Chain A
């Protein structure tokens, strides 16, 4: 045997594969699909009002010089109900929030707002999820920080919990 170290190669390969397996077990799995639109301008869209008595939403409405949040929600989505009080907190802190209702009916949106409050300046209705696709959004709820120039600055996937509120206020304020 003139090259005894060759014997170690199979062990090294197996150890590497074992290491990958352990890495896969230890590192938490992240199934979320992040939007690649962060850092880009809002896509062009013009959505009708989601229900009677609310304002419709287009991309130009959000490029008025004031940074704000864009909340993607639906009346049929339970986590959206869970985050409603935190959206109220954000509004109370002076953060302006626009919203897009996904695959929703006007009467359902009205019932949702009546029960959980309406912290939104405008609510557009995206019944075919076309704008959701353009935003690179993968579900409800999601919340975007939009700069005053209509730039998408940040994406928060999932419901807003109490611990996310200060971070979102900070992101909106630093966009000014």
Chain B
């Protein structure tokens, strides 16, 4: 279930984020929003919820997919515990970091 939710979130929301923050702003195609504007946005509770969803669900989507790819694709089943810890542990860690950062916005 987390996998599907993460899949939908990453499909719908990520492309525009990458386009803007990864290419359009650094390359100057569009005016970069000011620090003040972004900080004001991030302070808003809705934005924090939005960012939390953007950061946590796709991580679980990645964890599930990557685990299967390693498991089946590279046939390294004997490293099962390690793969599971890395993937799901990584996703949980990322979610915790997101929660911490978003909670502690000044």
Partners in one complex: no
Identify the B interface with A (CB < 8 A): none
